Amino acid sequence: MKACELPIGVFDSGVGGLTVARAIQTQLPQESVIYFGDRARCPYGDQAPEDVLRYAIEISEFLLAQPVKCIVIACNTATAVALPTLRSMFSVPVIGVIEPGAAAAVATTRNGRIGVIGTSVTIQSHAYRKAIVALDGAMHVVEHACPDFVPLVERGQFDGPAVEQVVRDSLLAFADTGVDTLVLGCTHYPLLQPVIRRVLGPLVQVISSADATANVLMNRLNVEGLTNPHETEITQRYFTTGDGSRMWLALANWFGKPIASDSVVQVQLPLPLRHVVKQAAVQ
């Protein structure tokens, strides 16, 4: 099989990255996708960066063994921690979700005040602040961790009084900050977007990096000559380290995507390559 006919590899800590996979399938309908959700070790946002780096390397090696022509890190935490290392380790294009999301926020804001919410690791890395300021040094960025959001999404809780209270309490940090744009710095968060919009009100624009990432991917495939020329059958495959039923329900219920009950495959990753991780972490 030609390189351009290979599928796109996408991974996340759980089911949240399916929002990115869906955007890719919408914008690039001629492309096959292999999705990997690491639900056994979700959430990544509360774990040590060196562990997240190890997970990202393991999953990337699994995807490349399928094989895939490129890798999309559909996880903000893993992007913040592992993107430079994965790009240095592997020859295929590796695309994260932070730079596309930052660019969309800079293009959207009217007053130059941007809020970012994400997991603890993503916020502590200041990856979005760095990416936004690199694009426009005049931007003012307010960051806040929302660690309670991912567990809600993984449990399938997207709305209702209890969910709205959690969202409302978490977004109090942006009161009186003047932000007119909020970046959802975690791919799980778009599933809570209706509640987030309701809490923030109509004056704040909410940015999900999924569509922006799919657009960056499309451009990169074109530049690299890796766009599928429609000569192969399009397939979508799903893997998880956890309970496959949750991912199947997410595909069936969240995205209205009818799939066979056995289409989500549970896998066990190989033992960690600790010496590789230690060397990569030092660089």
Which residue positions form the known binding site for substrate? 12-13, 44-45, 76-77, 187-188
How is residue 48 written in tokens?
A: 């040590």
In Å, how far are 18, 28, 50 from 234, measured between CA atoms? 17, 11, 36
For the chain, the C-alpha Rg in angstroms (whole number) is 18
The catalytically annotated residue of 42, 70, 146, 186 is: 186
| 235 within 8 A of 212, measured Cβ to Cβ | no
What number of residues does the chain have? Answer: 283
Strand order in the sheet with 181-185: 140-145, 113-118, 181-185, 205-208
The catalytically annotated residue of 42, 70, 75, 146 is: 75
How is residue 164 written in tokens?
A: 């709205």
Query: What residue numbers does the annotated binding site cover?
Result: 12-13, 44-45, 76-77, 187-188
**Active-site residue 42, yes or no?**
no
How is residue 277 written in tokens?
A: 């991780």
Q: How far apart are alpha carbons 9 and 36 in whole angstroms?
A: 8
* Cα torsion through 198, 177, 152, 130, rounded to 10: 130
Coil, strand or helix at 185: strand
Which amino acid, one-letter code, is at 41? R
Residue whose pair of structure tokens reads 């999309």 in the numeric block: 72
How is residue 165 written in tokens?
A: 């209270």
Q: Which residues pair with 145 in a beta bridge?
A: 118
Q: How far apart are alpha carbons 270 and 281 in whole angstroms?
A: 20
Residue burial 48-75, b: 16+ Cβ < 10 Å; e: rest: ebeebbbbbbbbbebbbeeebbbbbbbb
Q: Could you list the active site residues?
A: 75, 186
